[in-house]
A and B are shown apart, each in its own frame.
Chain A
C-alpha cells in the first residue's frame, strides 16, 4: 500500500520541510506534493472534492504505474491550462512545464512492456463464432423471419446474459465478467445441443468432415467403430483447444472407450467431447499456453495465431492459420502481413465493424434513434458497411473523417440527391410492402454536407443536439479524456433579462462558469459545428434547398439563421462543419490517428491500455502519420507490436 498524499504532506510537516519558498518541481515526490498542495488540493482533496478528482487518494511516489488515467487527465488539464480555473491562483509557465516533465518521466517516457499475462474467458460473440467454426454449423433459434421483426437467430446470443464491457470499454475484455453457475448451465446446454445435432442425420456432412471420410447414407450410431472414435477426437480436441493435443492425452481418453461400440460408443464420445467443451482450455484464452514464470517472453506460436484470429475475426484460427502456427511462420513479418491481408478479405472480418467499431463508437445507440425497424436497418447499415470497407479494403485511417465513398440503398438514397442516380434501381418485388435492400457502394461527387463517418445520418441521429455531438466527437474521435461533469453544475439559464435565450446563447452563458468552461469550451464549438444537420441527420444547408430525405423530417423547426461557426480552444476558427473537418484533417490529424491506434490496440489486447503501452502507441502512430497509413497498416502494426507478441508471467507460481 502506497502512502497517500495527505499522509505524505503530514509527514513533511512533521519533519519541518515546509514551507517551500518556491514550488518548482525538481522531480522529487516532495516537490510534486508541494505543487499539488498549492494549486489543486484546495478543490480536489479530502473534504472538498470537485469533479470526483481527489488527489489524496493517489500516490506521487515515482515509477508508480497505478492511477495512470488519473495522472493522464491531470497532466492534460495543467498542460492545456484548463486547470486551475481562471479565477484561481495560476502556476507559472515554468511550474506547468515542470509538472508536465514529471508526468512525462513517470508515465510517458517509460519503457515499453507487454504487461502481465491475464487469461480470459471467451466473450459471448467469440464463443458463438468458435462453436460455429468448431462444429461447422450455427446453433440456431427457430423463429420465422418476417420483414420488420426483430429476431435473434443465434441460440447462444439469445440465451447468454449480456457481456458487460470491461475497463477497456470492449466486451472481449472479460476479465471483469466472471464465470457463474448461470453461464455454466448455458455452456452445458449449448454443448449438449451441438453434440446432439452433430450426431443427428441432419448433420451427416459435418460429421463426415470431422471424420475425414464421406459417411454412407443411412449411417447409424450402431455403425460407429473404434477407428471412428479415434479419428473424431484426434480432429476435435486440438481444434477446440487451439493447440496440439498430445498422443498420450488422446490415448488416455480413448483407452476406457475400447470395450465400447455402436450407440454406447457414441454416448461415451459425446461425453468426452462435452468434457472438452466445458474445460478451461476451451472456455478461456491463453490457459494452456507454455509459460516460464517471471520473464518477459514471446507468446508461443499457437497463442500468437489465436490472438490474431480473435483480433481480426472474433473467432478461432482456421486451418491455414493453424498451419502457420504449427510451422511457426507467423514470426516472419512477410507471412504475418500476408495472413492479415487474407484474413481481412474473409467475410469473418466483418467482426471488426460489427464488434470492434460498434463498441468503440457506441454505434448500438443508433438502435434508440429509430422507431421503424425498416429505417433503422437501412440507416444503421450505412456506418457499418462504410467501416467494413475502410477496414477490409486497405483504406487510409483518415478516411474515417473524410471519404468520397458511402453506402446507400433505395431507402437512404435521397440523402445523396445529386449522386443517387448512380445507384442501381431498386425494384420492389410484387406483394412485398417494405424491404430492406442491401447497400451499394456510392461515389460522392456532387453531394453537399456528406462524406466520412461524422456526417452519416445515423451517427448524427444517435447524438441529438450539439452537446452530445460535441462530446461524442471529442471522446470517440479525438480521444480526449473529458472526465465526468462536476456534480455541482449550476443550472443552465434559459432567459436573460426577460429574453428567451437560444440554445447556443444558453451555453455561452453556461461557459461563463469556469468549472463548466473547462469542458464546454471544447465541446460546444465542435457540437455547434453540426448545426447544419437536424436531429434526424438531414442536411439543412444544401445550396439548392432540396427537400429533406425520407424519414428525416424533424419535429423541431430549424433555426432561421443556422450558425455553425466556431473557434477551437487551440485558436483555429471555422465557418461550418466542412471547415472544421479540414481542421480535423490537418491540425487534429495526429490526435485522430493516435486515438484510432489506442482503440485498436486495446481491442486487440482485450484490455485497457496502461502507461507502458504508450511507446507502442507512439511508434504505430508515427508510422501511420508519416505514410498516410491504412487500417490494414494499423492492424499489421498492432499484430506486430510488443504487447501483442510478448507477455510477462508473474513469478509467484508457488504462492
Chain B
C-alpha cells in the first residue's frame, strides 16, 4: 500500500499532563486519499482500527449505572460525566454479563475473550488484528500500566494469543515510542550515524588489535564481526529502503513521565499517533491489572485501589470518596483518548470515526464481584459499523461474547461463533433489539413482632454517606432502609439483586422514628432465581 503523508510543519500539541509534547501539527494535516484500502465498490475507504481500554476493579454501581431513560433519551450517570461531551460518539451498553460472580482473573479474560472459561482461544482484539493488520509495521500493541501480578497471572492480561496464552505487554511510553518511531535502522539519518560510528569503533578495535595477544584478538575478532554484520544490514536497508511516507524523525520523543497520569496520557497520545500514522491498527491498553493494588498518591490517596474497591466491607466516607476519585480518573482517561482520536483528521472524518473503541471492566459491583451490568461502552462509528449516540439496555443479561462476535463480524473476521456465543449482539448498527422493560409487580410491607417482610425493588443508596446501605422501594411508601452487615450482604448476594423485585425478610428495628431492616433472614427473587449463578438467575 502506497502512503503519501508529508509533514512540513512542526509545532506543539498539549501532551501529558500539560507538558508540551512536540509533535507535528496534526490537526491541520490530512492524510491523502490513497492511504486507505479499497472497499468493494472500488472506492477508497480509510482503514478501520480497533482499540480497547480496560478499567480495573469494577465500579460502584449506583455511580455508574444509568437508571431509566430510553435508547435515544437518557441521562448519563455521575461516573460518566467526564466523557459526557462525547455522548454522540458513544454506544452505551447495559445488562452485559454472565450469570454469576466474577473473580478478578475471570474479569480480565471475559473483557475480550467472550467468556471467562474461554482459555484456549485468541482474544477478539488479536483475531481482529490478524484480519485488519495488513502491512502495518506493528500487527498490534498490547499495553498496560502496571507490573505482572505473579500470584494470579491472569489478572495481568487482556490480550491472548492463538492458544489462549497471555501476550507480553509493555508499560513504558518511551519504549513504545521507540518501538514505533525510532527503530534505529529504519531511519536514514540514524543509519548514517551508525555507519560513521562503525567506522570509528572499527579503527579503535584495529588499533587495539595491533597490541593484542591471541586472547584479545579472538575477542576483537568477535567484536569486529558484529561491526561488519551491522554494516551489511545497513547496506541492505539503504539499497532496499522505500522512502518512508512520514518522517518519523520529526516526531519528538515524549519526555519521561513523572507520575502515573503522565505515563497514561503519554501512552494514549502514542496510541492515537500510532493509529493515525497507520503504524498499527489494533491496540489494547489496561489502565491497571484487574485487581490493581496501585496507590494513587498523585490524587492524594494512600490506600490501595483494590482495598478501596471493596467499598462495602471497607466502608468509610473517605474510602468511598477515594474510590470514586480513582474511578473518575479512569473515566477522564477514556475522555482523553476520545478527545485525542477526534483531534486527528482521517479522510473526511476523524480518526475516531474510523475506529471502534471498547471501554469496560469485566465485572460490575466491585465488592460483590457481580458479573452482571458489567460496564461496557463502545465509541466511534467504526466506519458505519456502529450507530452511536444511544443507550442500549437489553432485556436480559447479554454475554460479552455476543458483543465480541458482532464486532468480529463487523471487522470482517469470518467467524460464526466465539467463545460460548453463536448469536451476535443485536442493535449495535441501529437494528432492533429486546429492550429492557420492567414487568409489573406488587409491592407491600408486612410487619410482625420483631420481623419485617417486604416485597419491592431492591436499590443501593445513591447517598455516598451511606454507600453500604440498601433500600426496598415500595409503591406509595417511603423506601425501607436495609442496614446489614457484611455477612448478609455477602451470603444473600444483595448486590446481585439490585434493581430487581425481591421479597426480603429480616429483623425489624426503629431508629430515630424510622423503620429499618437490620438482619436479613430470607431473600426470594420475584421473577428470577434466588440463588444467583446460573442462567435464569
Residue pair A179, B222 in contact (C-beta under 8 Å): yes
Residue pair A271, B197 in contact (C-beta under 8 Å): yes
Q: Which residues of B contact A429 (CB under 8 A)?
A: 302
Q: Which of A197, A371, A650 contacts B256 (CB 8 A)?
A: A197
Residue pair A178, B256 in contact (C-beta under 8 Å): no
Alpha-carbon separation in the docked complex, A444 to B230 (Å) = 59
Q: Which of A138-146, A206-214, A482-490, A519-527 contacts the other chain?
A: A138-146
User: Is A147 positioned at the interface, with any CB of B under 8 Å from its CB?
Assistant: yes
Residue pair A142, B307 in contact (C-beta under 8 Å): no
User: Is A184 positioned at the interface, with any CB of B under 8 Å from its CB?
Assistant: yes
Q: Which residues of B contact A284 (CB under 8 A)?
A: 219, 223
Residue pair A146, B304 in contact (C-beta under 8 Å): yes
Residue pair B173, A142 in contact (C-beta under 8 Å): yes
Residue pair A141, B216 in contact (C-beta under 8 Å): no
Alpha-carbon separation in the docked complex, A79 to B255 (Å) = 66
A197: nearest chain-B partner, CB-CB = B256
Q: Which residues of A contact B216 (CB under 8 A)?
A: 119, 287, 291
Q: Which of B89-97, B207-215, B496-504 contacts the other chain?
A: B207-215
Residue pair B197, A274 in contact (C-beta under 8 Å): yes
Residue pair A142, B256 in contact (C-beta under 8 Å): yes
Q: Which residues of B contact A180 (CB under 8 A)?
A: 226
User: Is A151 positioned at the interface, with any CB of B under 8 Å from its CB?
Assistant: yes
Residue pair B219, A120 in contact (C-beta under 8 Å): yes
For chain B, what secondary structure do more than half of its interface residues adopt (helix, strand, loop), or is it mixed?
Answer: helix
What is the size, in residues, of chain B's interface with A at 8 Å between Cβ atoms? Answer: 58
Alpha-carbon separation in the docked complex, A431 to B301 (Å) = 10
Q: Which residues of B contact A281 (CB under 8 A)?
A: 204, 208
Contact with A along B266-307 (1 / 0, CB 8 A): 000000000000000000000011001111000000111011
User: Is A94 positioned at the interface, with any CB of B under 8 Å from its CB?
Assistant: no
- Give chain A interface residues in 347-389, CB to chain B under 8 Å: 371-374, 376
Q: Known: A142-B173, A143-B145, A373-B151. Contact between A185 and B215, CB under 8 A?
A: no
Q: Which residues of A contact B304 (CB under 8 A)?
A: 146-147, 431-433
Alpha-carbon separation in the docked complex, A145 to B148 (Å) = 10
Residue pair A145, B147 in contact (C-beta under 8 Å): yes
Q: Which residues of A contact B196 (CB under 8 A)?
A: 271
- Give chain A interface residues in 588-617, CB to chain B under 8 Å: none
Residue pair B148, A149 in contact (C-beta under 8 Å): yes
User: Is A326 positioned at the interface, with any CB of B under 8 Å from its CB?
Assistant: no
Alpha-carbon separation in the docked complex, A652 to B215 (Å) = 10
Alpha-carbon separation in the docked complex, A372 to B288 (Å) = 19
Residue pair A189, B184 in contact (C-beta under 8 Å): yes
- Give chain A interface residues in 98-122, CB to chain B under 8 Å: 116-121
Q: Which residues of A contact B253 (CB under 8 A)?
A: 196
Interface hub of B216, B288, B304, B307 (most chain A Cβ within 10 A) = B216
Residue pair B294, A146 in contact (C-beta under 8 Å): yes
Q: Which of A146, A274, A283 contacts B289 (CB 8 A)?
A: A146
- Give chain B interface residues in 135-153, CB to chain A under 8 Å: 145-151
Q: Which residues of B contact A121 (CB under 8 A)?
A: 219
User: Is A169 positioned at the interface, with any CB of B under 8 Å from its CB?
Assistant: no
User: Is A21 positioned at the interface, with any CB of B under 8 Å from its CB?
Assistant: no
Alpha-carbon separation in the docked complex, A517 to B296 (Å) = 60
Contact with A along B192-213 (1 / 0, CB 8 A): 0110110011001100100111
Interface hub of A148, A283, A293, A371 (most chain B Cβ within 10 A) = A148
User: Is B317 positioned at the interface, with any CB of A under 8 Å from its CB?
Assistant: no
Contact with A along B33-67 (1 / 0, CB 8 A): 00000000000000000000000000000000000
User: Is A279 positioned at the interface, with any CB of B under 8 Å from its CB?
Assistant: yes
Residue pair B215, A280 in contact (C-beta under 8 Å): no
Q: Known: A179-B222, A432-B304. Contact between A188 and B147, CB under 8 A?
A: no
Q: Which of A146, A179, A650 contacts B146 (CB 8 A)?
A: A146
Contact with B along A426-462 (1 / 0, CB 8 A): 0001111110000000000000000000000000000
Residue pair B172, A142 in contact (C-beta under 8 Å): yes
User: Is A150 positioned at the interface, with any CB of B under 8 Å from its CB?
Assistant: yes
Chain A interface residues toward B at CB < 8 A: 116-121, 140-152, 155, 178-181, 184-185, 188-189, 192-193, 196-197, 200, 202, 271, 274-275, 278-281, 283-284, 287-288, 291, 293, 371-374, 376, 429-434, 649-653, 655
A144-B260, A430-B302 known; 16 new pairs, CB 8 Å cut-off, are A120-B219, A142-B263, A145-B147, A146-B304, A148-B293, A179-B222, A181-B229, A188-B197, A202-B256, A271-B193, A279-B205, A280-B219, A280-B223, A373-B151, A433-B306, A652-B214
Chain B interface residues toward A at CB < 8 A: 145-151, 156, 171-175, 178, 184, 193-194, 196-197, 200-201, 204-205, 208, 211-216, 219-220, 222-223, 226, 229-230, 233, 253, 255-257, 260, 263, 288-289, 292-295, 302-304, 306-308, 314, 319
